[in-house]
Structure 1
Amino acid sequence: MSIIILHSFLSILFCASTTILARCDVRFFGLMFLSLVYFAFFGVTPIISEPYMLRSLMKVIQISTIFLTSAVISTLIILFTGRRLIVDFGPLPAKNVNSMRDAGLAVYMLSAAVFSAYLATHGIPWLAENPNLARHEFVSNAGYFQIFMTRGMPVGAICICASELARKNRIITPLSGAIIISWLVLTFLQGFRIHLMMAILYLLMLYFYSTRKMSLTRFAFIAALISAIFITISLIRFENDSSVNITEIIQHRIGFELLWATNYSVQLSEIQGLWWGKTIFMDLYSALPGPGESFGDYLLNFANPRSDIVGLAALTPSVLSEAYLNFGNLGVLIFGAMTPIMFVPIHKLIGFQPAIGRTSLVIVPILLAQVVEVGIGQTLASRILPTVAFLLILGAVYRMQLGLRLRGRTYRPTMA
């Protein structure tokens, strides 16, 4: 019981310290979001569950306590010793703003067109007889088309919103509003709650940068909105299945799924020993063209080989699963300490050209926060690397447009 009390105390302390840090410095909003996600997936269940339900998960709670101890210490060190920085999202010269807008439009329209074409030819998961199974089949068949929606559209949309913020000192304008609406609609049609929630968080992050402070009131409102979206989409997804209890689905998804996923990794380590980074390489390899098994695929097949979604989806492993299975308790301790530290240099992204700098400064912290749920390898393979690819395309279009504008401004041919 004492370990559960300590774990609960550290979970709450992690949330409180990261919230204070984010209030002092907006660039740590992603870390605050990470701590809240961690609390939802790992902190709530030991507090509210009966002791008999936790007996088989005590090893996981011990591992989580190690992670939280080093994460809290690292956060407190940053809070009391770090410098407070203000990231400037202010005005830019007109040629830079226009080039940002054009680059964002190019990336967004390309991504939206590719993904819309795939929707048109393969159908919309919501319209299927079994929307829950249809969304997994949709993703398994989508392959790299999925990346255009989940990574390309956010890069383009946020760049457009950032350019409008620099131009008119507000995020929502007729242009950005139209882009945001189409982005949210296309994201909703795909059927996964997480992508719609992420889109809202990107916009919230940009808003906090624009005001240079984090509003807890507005964040609480957005958190309530995200919760409503989570429940609503769950109801829609299972409305035709009378055998499904939505309350139990939500409780399992939030309260137990990652705890059990981590428990499966503990069992794997007892059978096979430490993997020494193999899970990360599995995820990176699975992202390459051609067949490849990710660690989440392997974990689902190990946990429940008869599941209906084997081959269509994977089990989300969590950062604890990968840290422990790869490197044991020492790995958990190190990853816990490094988790807050990886948000410290985020502000340096603003040093890149405006299109890449301002867009990545909004998107990257939210992507990093997902390491709690999807693990280290998947964060790199399916989030960071594809986003970097679209950011490079964005930067190339920006440079090209800016070069055209500069030449148009300096070269004035005269009539002979």
Structure 2
Amino acid sequence: MNQRILLAVGGGIAAYKAASLCSLLVKHGYDVQVLMTRNATEFIKPLTFQSLSRNPVVVSTFEEPNPAEIAHVAMADRADLFVVAPATANLIGKLAHGIADDMVTTTALVCQAPLLIAPAMNVHMYDHPAVQENLRILRQRGAIVVDPGSGPLACGYTGKGRLAEPEEIKDVVDAVLTRQSDLSDLRVLVTAGPTVEDIDPVRFVSNGSSGKMGYAIAEAAVSRGAKVTLVTGPSHLEPVAGAEMVRVRSTEQMKDAVLKRLSTVDAVIGAAAPVDFRPAERFDQKWKKSDGLPQIDWVQTPDILASVAKAKEARHVVVGFAAETRDVVLNAEKKLVSKDLDFVVGNQIGEEGVGFGTDTNRVIIVSKNGPDPLPLMSKLDVANEILSRVRIVFDGRLGTRARRETDQL
């Protein structure tokens, strides 16, 4: 039986794109049931979606065509995925706070399937703290949010708020429905963000890592069924729903947290950017400017991946990162050999859309088979590329495939 998608269409000008999304999903073999808010019908008629989906479109909560079942409960029970596109600010607010006053929100409150939200609205509306807080709540509950694109908007503004393209949303749908459990037998530890080395009680040495890449890997691994531990340095990012969160500050603390858990995991993905050096002595009191420039001796911090390489077992898959300003492949190859890694994810920071703080990345995956450059893509897509390779390496480990086949008998 084809997987069933509930496609909820909100009342915004981007509703016309939902028709393209509906058509695309049907062409790829999904059984699509469309629900619309009353406001959505002001932008596009239900007949359009009925023609595209070959299913009746439901708008009113009081439409009960089958007396043997309650429509919104029955639809929710049969759904494999609930997609809201476009998700207006109003609809996002209702979903976040459990308001059920129409067919879309009532069905969403009953539905146990994964929730995928594709926001679309004015740039200032999208940036409003209330909307961002509502999205944070939904993410924390496990909802998958397909971020809007940037560009000219229907209101005349230019900025972030355009509904993601149907092809992009369809790719996320595919990922959720086909990759949901392919890592269910894996225990994955991910490091993320910077570390911090204190100089005195108010000053420290760190770097510009936001943690976005590591958090994206953890999020993708959870969505694909893995048991995930995220060891993170200081970051403003929201916790990854479904992952064990271990918060650290210094490089030494991160190393200790990883080694403590190494025997309980199958893969270590070192996406963090640990500080490589620290003051030999930390000043107990704030250094006063009137005392002149402090004389600081520096010492190296522990090499986390090198420590993992020494302690790892035969089953472990270990992945490193190399954020470089030049000679990315050469430096990644050196790291691959010197730290006995399975592969290294290299990127050249400073390029547009690449590196610290961005939502996208362009990486080169370097293994013993040579470099494999990937195009510019979202960090979530990069995360899934990395995890798919972890799956392949893990399956190739001596005895692992036999163990999995035995477990399935």
User: TM-score of the superposition, structure 1-length normalised?
Assistant: 0.28
- Structure with the larger helix share: 1
Between structure 1 and structure 2, the one with the greater Rg is 2
Q: Which has the higher contact order (CA 8 A, sep 6+)?
A: 1
Q: Which structure's residues are more often strand, by fraction?
A: 2
